[in-house]
Amino acid sequence: MAAKVSDEMAARIWIFVVAVALSLSLPSFASSQDLQIVNAERRIDLSSHIVKAFLTLKVENIGKNPAADMLLAFPPTQIKHLSMVQALAVTGKKKKKAYLPLDVKPSEQPDAPNDTGYFLVTFATPLTPGETVTLEVLYILTHSLEPFPMEIAQSEAQLVYYRDSAVILSPYRIKQQTTYFKTPSTRVESFTSVEPANRAGKEIKYGPYDDRAPYSYAPVIVHFENNSPFAVVEELVREIEISHWGSIQITENYRLTHGGARHKGVFSRVDYQSRRSISGSSSFNGLLAVLPPRVNSVYYRDDIGNISTSHLRTGYKKSELEFEPRYPLFGGWRATFIIGYRVPLEDYLFEAPDGRRYLNFTFGCPLVETIVNKLTIKVVLPEGSKDPSAVLPFTVNQDLQVKYSYLDIVGRTVVVLQKDNVVPTHNVPFQVYYTFKPIYMLAEPFMLVSAFFFVFVASLAYVHIDLNIVKK
């Protein structure tokens, strides 16, 4: 009995020792009161309809425990327009400066005030007490410029509102901060003054502000001229069809609109062509699509037919297609069109070390400086492909479909990738892996040969039939 009690006591002691060791080896997570931002600088670029904000944060751990991550806070009016958030850790100084990408993902906090949204940034290594780290943060907003007035005539310039805060919304105390707004021109109708604030040319400066408490907020409105093309693709469907016989066919269906102030009144083609800088300054009639290198069989058409107002430049690194819709686009006007092209198979299809094949292609929209409300990419794999999987650096909705084409028996597997609120920063490579047995490549030629053989045999049988009527 005594031996049994001693064994139980030894087991409890062992469990206690292991628990203490694990608690000492794992980094503890610091609360929001354990971090402070020593210095913050925010630069917001308003030169196009895609708003880009660059944050430089010097973060210090003032607590007693290591901090493994920190929160980025956004007001509810920006959360629904956020397209992308990226963070880099800065190491080294001056010429030896290096940037280390950090993991950023949405986060929900139960005690969030005023429906504040959060993103969690995980440090490369836990931030020890007294240690500082410098972060470079990029976040992109779409549909954040409000046209005012909402309707303009052909000869009027486009004015827009941008709403934000003079100070950075943060769950941490900020010792010192400055915010800059960059406008596309020097025409600024008005801006909210939160002292100290001043404007010089295209730049509006707010701050520096010292020792701001967590969740400080100072709303500002900037009213300025912005005649950049508000090109918005309401829906884009890109179909990438792989053929193991030598090429990849890409077909892109666009539904494009002008997302700026709506056009009112009549349209004068004479004024538009004779005084383009004054008449229709906020419209656009030329688009640029950046295509892969070595493209061939390029076409551009709409529901009516082929459109000849296009020019293609090919190169070793990229190809550029300049084209014009059938008519210029003013606010609220729409256009639908199709762009198609082929690329060599050997440039984008490779074999993995485990024997699988994979497609390496570019995600996003080829049109320059364009917002895509809904993007769907369909990767059509050869018939007989199995076990498809897609690898992307961000979250997308994935689905599988089946498509039937000429001479197909069981159909072709289609990997469907769908993402909303896409901007040019999303134009990064992605991969689609699948397994394929080379014997399946002989299926279609075998069916063609079989069809010709049966036709040949049937024709021979028809020739040898005696069609004469014999009298008995």
Digitized pLDDT (tens) for each residue of the chain, 472 residues in all: 444 434 554 445 444 433 333 333 334 444 567 899 999 999 999 999 999 999 999 999 999 999 999 999 999 999 999 999 999 999 888 778 899 999 999 999 888 888 899 999 999 999 999 999 999 999 999 999 999 999 999 889 999 999 999 999 999 999 999 999 999 999 999 999 999 999 999 999 999 999 999 999 999 999 999 999 999 999 999 999 999 888 999 999 999 999 999 999 888 888 887 776 677 788 998 899 999 999 999 999 988 888 778 899 998 899 999 998 888 999 999 999 999 999 999 999 999 999 999 999 999 999 999 999 999 999 999 988 899 999 999 999 999 999 887 666 678 899 999 999 999 999 999 999 999 887 555 555 655 666 666 777 777 766 665 555 555 5
CA atoms of 231 and 260, how far apart (whole Å): 8
What pLDDT score was predicted for residue 231?
95
CA atoms of 271 and 9, how far apart (whole Å): 95
Q: Which tokens hold the place of 211? A: 């020792």
Q: Which tokens hold the place of 135? A: 């972060």
Amino acid identity for residue 268 in this structure: S
For residues 363 and 426, the answer to whether their CB atoms sit within 8 Å is yes
For residues 250 and 340, the answer to whether their CB atoms sit within 8 Å is yes
Q: How far is CA 413 from CA 137, 161, 195, 232, 405, in A?
A: 39, 46, 61, 30, 11
What pLDDT score was predicted for residue 274?
76
Q: How far is CA 310 from CA 285, 293, 298, 301, 414, in A?
A: 12, 17, 10, 10, 31
- φ/ψ of 261, rounded to 5, equals -60, 135
Report the candidate in 81, 47, 53, 423 with the shortest Cα–Cα distance to residue 226.
Answer: 47
Report the candidate in 357, 127, 137, 98 with the shortest Cα–Cα distance to residue 248.
Answer: 357
* Length of the chain as a residue count: 472
What pLDDT score was predicted for residue 472?
52
What pLDDT score was predicted for residue 14?
46
Q: Which tokens hold the place of 466? A: 């005696």
What pLDDT score was predicted for residue 304?
86
Report the candidate in 322, 343, 326 with the shortest Cα–Cα distance to residue 335.
Answer: 326
Interior CA angle at 460 toward 457 and 461, to 5°? 85
The edge-to-edge listing of strands for the beta sheet with 310-313 is 287-291, 319-323, 310-313
